[in-house]
Structures are given as C-alpha cells and as structure tokens.
Amino acid sequence: MVDKVWRNFQTQLKKIKSLDGLEEVEIKFLGRKGQVNKLFQQLAKIPASQKRRQGQAINELKQKITKALAKKKEQLQLRLADELAQENFDVTQPGREQQLGHLHPITQMKWEIGDIFRRMGFEIFEPQEVSDDYNNFGALNIPAGHPARDLWDTFWTREGYIPITHTSSMQNWIYRHRRPPIRAVVIGRCFRHEATDASHEHTFHQIEGVYVDENVTVANLIETMRVFLSAFYGKEMEIKVRPSYFPFVEPGLEIAMKCVFCNGKGCSVCKNSGWIEILGAGEIHPRVLREGGIDPEKYSGFAWGLGLERLIMLRYGIEDVRRFHRGDLRFLRQF
Ligand code: PHE
C-alpha cells in the first residue's frame, strides 16, 4: 500500500508545472483527508504484530513526500524568476501615466475672473439662464416694440421665455435683493440666434458688473475696468472710452483696450487700429434703478458687460471662438 501511494505521488508530481498545481497535490496527499492520512486510518485494521513496522513505513513516506514537495517548490520558483528575467520585467519602472483630465478653460477663467472681482469687493452670481421678457428687456428700459430689441438676436421658447441674450437680465433681480452700496458681478452663459463664425457663437459667456452707491461716476467705472484688465492680463493696461448706446445706461460707453498683440502699433488682430473693443458699459439709467426699487435721486451707479471668450482669446492668441465647444483634446490639454 505504502509503495503504491509513493508511485502514485511521483507520477502526479512530474506533471506539475505551476505553484498552484503543486498545492493541489500537497492537499491530495498530505491534507486532512489525503492519501497519507488514509493509510494511518487503515492501521487500525491490520494485525497488531505488523502495526509498528507499517506505522514506521507510513511516517517515512510522509517525510519523503514533504521533502519532494519542498524541492519541487524551489524548482518552480526558480523557473518563474528565470521567466520574468527573460521578459525584461523591470520592477523599478514608474507606472503608466494616467490622464485624469482637468477643468475646461472657460471654467478656469470664470473662477479666476471671479476671484479678481471678489478681491475688489464684488459679490459673484450666476445668471438664471432661462428668463423672461421683463428681466431680459422690460426692466432694462426696453419696452415691447422698442427698436433697440433688434440689438439682440433673441431665442424665444414656445411659452414665451427667453434663454438670456445678455447677463444684464440679472440687473433687476440684483437691485431688488441688495441694498446700496451694491457691488455685484454675474458670470454665465448667454444665447443668441447668430450665424456662427470665428468670432460669433450662439452660446457664449458674459461678465456683468453693477456698482450702485452715492456719488458714483463714470470715472469709477473706467478705473474699475482698468484695474480688472491689468489684473487679468498681468500688466498695466491702457484703455480708451468711446460713446455708445444701450437703453439701460446713460451715457453709454464702449471701452477698448490697447491691443495685447502689437501693443498699440497696429496688427491684423486689431485691424491696424491698435485698439480692441471689449465691453459695453455706462451709468445705469435712472429708470432702471427706479424699476429695481432704488431711488435715482439719491443713488447712481455704473454697469458693464464683458465677453468672457473674447478676453480669453486675447490672452492666449486663440483665433476661433468655436474651439471652446469642440471638445478637441489637443486644444483643451493646453490649459
Ligand atoms: N448687455 C449689453 C450687451 O450684451 C452690454 C452692457 C452691459 C452694456 C451693461 C451696458 C451695460 O450688449
């Protein structure tokens, strides 16, 4: 019996090629219900005179199997190490780089610009993206039928709501929910029914600002814009003011900054004028203040509307606004 188990063990051991297989054989022979233990159990049935010799033989078998298993294990481990060495497996190599992604450049700039205005004492808001006739136009001194409505190519929902055409749609809400002194900035998406091209998108972002207090003048507006632009572009910016028209400001202004590419000398970006127009602004119209529950006899203020994409394009020399929404990773990874 003992010999038969030994031969059986040897044939099985020869076939083993892996450490896992080795463990199986070990359980089969040395395990609790294994072959060797079965032999010990059979000892009870044999004549007393043979018990001692037979017991010794089984113990020897157990030792031989244990030794053989240990030897085989060592061989298998050595072979594994050899194989790994041949595969040129370098455990000191760093892992493969993970592409974790990052915030979209628009979001990064929104946050950065929000921080600049926060440092200047402004409170930051997001607009309600779908608003109504009153907030987008009526409360801003643009009654129904007013020709100035044509300044904005407006989308309307079937129910008569408006995806906001400008962040000025938040002005009335701000006047009604804050008391002077008011310093508020709204950064968010606007929508216009535009044919898109390199400088026009149907969906874009504006940065609206309102400042209301006693004795606020255009001089405060101009300086606020100059300080902001200098902070955003990281150098002292020169700006130029021209008259313009928006129904909700009086006087209305347009502000241009010295071209960041040619420093005012004239280039293709600024169409050789040396200046780039970046925002509409003005003194808040008394009717708009009154509509917001603020007494225009006591308070005055200024408001501005900046295009976010424009600011970013000028900072990085991006030539096409449509890049922001294309999802092209070669573009996005640069930020
Ligand atoms: N809302 C205007 C626009 O989108 C910009 C603007 C804002 C002008 C505030 C004056 C004051 O064209």
Other beta carbons less than 10 A from residue 100's beta carbon: 5
- What is the Cα–Cα distance from 292 to 281, expressed in whole angstroms? 18
How far CA 139 is from CA of 147, 175, 197, 216, in Å, comes to 16, 11, 31, 21
Residue in 166, 190, 244, 306 to alter for ligand 1 test, most ligand atoms within 8 A of Cβ = 166
Closest CA to 253 of 318, 311, 305: 305
Mean pLDDT of 125-147: 95
Domain boundaries, the chain: 2-86, 105-332
**Rounded distance, CA 325 to CA 104, Å?**
10
For residue 200, what is the DSSP state? Answer: B
Does the annotation count 256 as an active-site position? no
Q: Residue written as tokens 């998406």?
A: 189
Ligand 1 atom closest to 166 (CA): 4
Residue range 177-205, pLDDT digits in tens:
999 999 999 999 999 998 888 888 999 99
* Distance, CA of 79 to CA of 303 (rounded, Å): 78
Share of the chain above pLDDT 70, in %: 100
- For 155-165, the pLDDT digits (tens) are 999 999 999 99
- Which CATH superfamily is 105-332 part of? Bira Bifunctional Protein; Domain 2 (3.30.930.10)
Candidates 222, 202, 151; CA nearest to 325 is: 202
Ligand 1 center to 281 CA (angstroms)? 6
Token reading at 71: 């030897």
Beta strand pairing call for 275-284 and 239-244: unpaired
DSSP string computed for 86-115: HTT--TTSPPPPP------HHHHHHHHHHH
